[in-house]
Amino acid sequence: MKKKLLFLTLVIVLIASLLAGCGNEGKTSNGGDGGKSDGGKVIIVRASGDPMTFNPDTVPDDNAYPIVQNLFNRLVKLDASKQIIPDLATDWEVSEDGKSITFNLRDDAKWHDGEKVTSKDVKYTFDTIKENKGYYFSSRMAIVDSIDAPDDYTIVFNMNEADVSFIADLGWYATFVIPEHIFNNGEPWEDNPASKDPIGSGPFKFGDFKQGESITLVANPDYHEGAPKLDKIIYSIIPDDATAVQALLNGDIDVYEYVPAANIEELEASGNIRLALNEYPSPMRIIFNLKEEKLQDVNVRRAIATAINREEISQKVYNGVQKPEYNMYPSLMEWASNSEQTAPKFNIDEAIKILEDAGYTKDADGYYIRGLTIDVFEGGGYPDAAKLMEASLAKAGIELKVQVHEFNAWSEKVDIQRDFMLELQGGFMGPDPAALQKRLGTGEYSNFGDYSSEKFDELVAKGAATGDQEKRAEYYKEAQAVLAEDLPYLPIVAFAGYDANNDKFINLPIDGAGKWGWAEFTFTDMK
């Protein structure tokens, strides 16, 4: 059966990405002109930090992700209407038993050095990901038995079992096709010179990287979908939110994604800045490290969950823009989310009762539980949210100390070393409820808290192997009921935010109706 667009009616999202844009005319070619200059049409996008790598397939890197989306292509990608659409693949076919997926590739795609993109590159990319267990998509590749390239423009994934969500996942995070003739040089991707000076097949080519300052991309005139209208994209590195807001108001940047809610009125009054509110199935959430003895007791986790005031966090940190989230799979994904069996609501007295019923007693300082820490990264309101949690938990006799890190340091500590007790993270729970298995399934790489439940594993496996969406929803809702009972993690607030863009640009990745798939500036132009 042919699959040229969507495999299911999937609601998807992709991870945090910087997009959209705009600006003022006539300053310099490298900053804030937002339009024509001696360097042509330039758009300046705020970046919150230095990328760790320009290889898009190794570890999750939110600072690099919006950049590499303009440098590389996937087999398929996700459009603004939440559908799977072709990218390097023109179409695809799934065998009757669901265990073979054949992609037909376009024959006009080229790498930035002029070489053709072929099935050899696709096979090399995904074989390498599969072989390297630390790479983000590697755990997902466990379902793939082998990959065949019968000719230059055909690639076949031979599956160990049918999984209706695999095609959707290929349009998600860390699935970019990279050039075999560049990267296959004997060096691992992490240390590969090609990861620092990348050659892709996307609409823009790598220009330069000035650490702590900027990343510049230049238009690829030979792009297979047509040469971009813009001549350059400059990602201006501005870690501080307040500084970034002022830069937008001053015309020094043209695009600011996830503007602090407190600045919305000020930006609305500016006259030339367009704001768009976007919601994502990407909740802020606490991950419990279940290797920590103090957190192995579900009563402790339930008490913590009951002592967190999500409404307070929503209002004080996000001005009510990011709503409280209780569903174990995002409530925005209505077809698959269980709204009946959820994380507990806020109640300090109930939190105390849970601990006392479980046999915990107060120490001389009034604490039932001491010595807990939570690791958070700078920005996005996360430290402020964690401080509110710290204060609220103290009222329930639970000591929690907040540890704030620069993002890359946090990622190294939490993602790589898994050195934490509690950690606060975001990230998309998509593009399909099969993501529950990837994040919480026994032994999965992205299962940071080391959760394991035989019942949960069984239910999500059934959900992944079932083609009927209604039946899939049943399995995944049952799986969420297990999570609501075990509480290996806690949803806090649903992710939503305003993107701000100068209105001189058109055909931005974000069009005000919702941003769902990518951060490509391929078709962006000036009015």
* pLDDT over 90 (residue 312): yes
Separation in Å, CA 7 to CA 78, 98, 148, 163, 372? 12, 11, 21, 11, 44
User: How confident is the model at residue 80, as a pLDDT?
Assistant: 60
User: How confident is the model at residue 110, as a pLDDT?
Assistant: 98
Residue that is written with structure tokens 């919601």 in the block: 279
User: How confident is the model at residue 508, as a pLDDT?
Assistant: 80
What topology is assigned to 2-201+503-526 in CATH?
Dipeptide-binding Protein; domain 1 (3.90.76)
Separation between Cα atoms, residue 201 and residue 179, nearest integer Å? 8
| Residues carrying CATH 3.10.105.10, the chain | 281-495
**Contact between 480 and 327 (Cβ < 8 Å):** yes
Give me the percent of the chain exceeding a pLDDT of 70: 90
Indicate the pTM of the whole model. Answer: 0.70
Q: Where are the alpha helices (DSSP H) in 237-371?
A: 241-250, 264-268, 298-306, 310-318, 348-357
Residue 151 β-bridge partners: 154
pLDDT digits (tens, 9 = 90+) for 425-443: 987 786 678 889 889 999 9
What's the rounded mean pLDDT across residues 105-117? 98
Separation in Å, CA 24 to CA 21, 106, 350, 434, 499? 11, 38, 55, 44, 17
> Which string of DSSP letters, residue by residue, matches 226-270?
---S-SEEEEEE---HHHHHHHHHHTS-SEEEEE-GGGHHHHHTT
Q: Which of 31-35, 40-44, 98-102, 318-322 has the lowest mean pLDDT?
A: 31-35
Compute the mean pLDDT over every residue in the chain, rounded to the nearest whole number. Answer: 88
User: How confident is the model at residue 333, as a pLDDT?
Assistant: 84
What's the rounded mean pLDDT across residues 296-324? 96
Q: Which of 151-160, 224-233, 512-521 has the lowest mean pLDDT?
A: 512-521
pLDDT band at 287 (very low <50, low <70, confident <90, very high): very high
More confident residue, 97 or 298: 298
pLDDT digits (tens, 9 = 90+) for 1-21: 433 333 333 333 333 332 333
User: How confident is the model at residue 406, as a pLDDT?
Assistant: 93
Q: Where are the alpha helices (DSSP H) in 37-186?
A: 65-68, 119-131, 166-169, 180-183
Residue 216 β-bridge partners: 208, 234
What's the rounded mean pLDDT across residues 31-36? 50
Give the other-Cβ count within 10 Å of 74's Cβ.
24
Q: Which of 87-91, 162-166, 422-426, 471-475 has the lowest mean pLDDT?
A: 162-166
81: which 2 tokens? 């209407």
CATH number of 281-495: 3.10.105.10
* pLDDT over 60 (residue 342): yes
pLDDT band at 81 (very low <50, low <70, confident <90, very high): low
* pLDDT over 50 (residue 509): yes
Pairing of strands 100-105, 505-506: unpaired
User: How confident is the model at residue 432, as a pLDDT?
Assistant: 79
pLDDT band at 39 (very low <50, low <70, confident <90, very high): low
User: How confident is the model at residue 520, as a pLDDT?
Assistant: 85
Separation in Å, CA 211 to CA 47, 50, 214? 12, 6, 7
**Contact between 111 and 182 (Cβ < 8 Å):** yes
User: How confident is the model at residue 35, as a pLDDT?
Assistant: 55
- In angstroms, the first-to-last Cα distance of the chain is 43
| Residues carrying CATH 3.90.76.10, the chain | 2-201+503-526
